[in-house]
Amino acid sequence: GALPQSLEALVPNYRASVPYDFWAEAPMRYRADGNSYVVYSVGRGRVDDGGDPKADIIYRIQLPSAAELASPH
């Protein structure tokens, strides 16, 4: 399956609500990027730097490729 277009797409089937960013006083940011995605907080600086790991607090998840899923372990 494809990655969701937004965190809101996960509510209510997978989450009760969108994760909250207390620094921004708003929902956490989300960006799908190929076979990975980033969920991030603006962090202490309270400026959205687009998920820059030097400025924001990021959680990057790399999904396995189709080839990796097909190969035997």
The pLDDT score that the predictor gives to residue 9 is 92
Name 55's Cβ contacts closer than 8 Å, sequence gap at least 6: 43, 45, 47, 49
The pLDDT score that the predictor gives to residue 65 is 77
The pLDDT score that the predictor gives to residue 16 is 96
Q: What is the mean pLDDT of residues 1-13?
A: 87
The pLDDT score that the predictor gives to residue 5 is 87
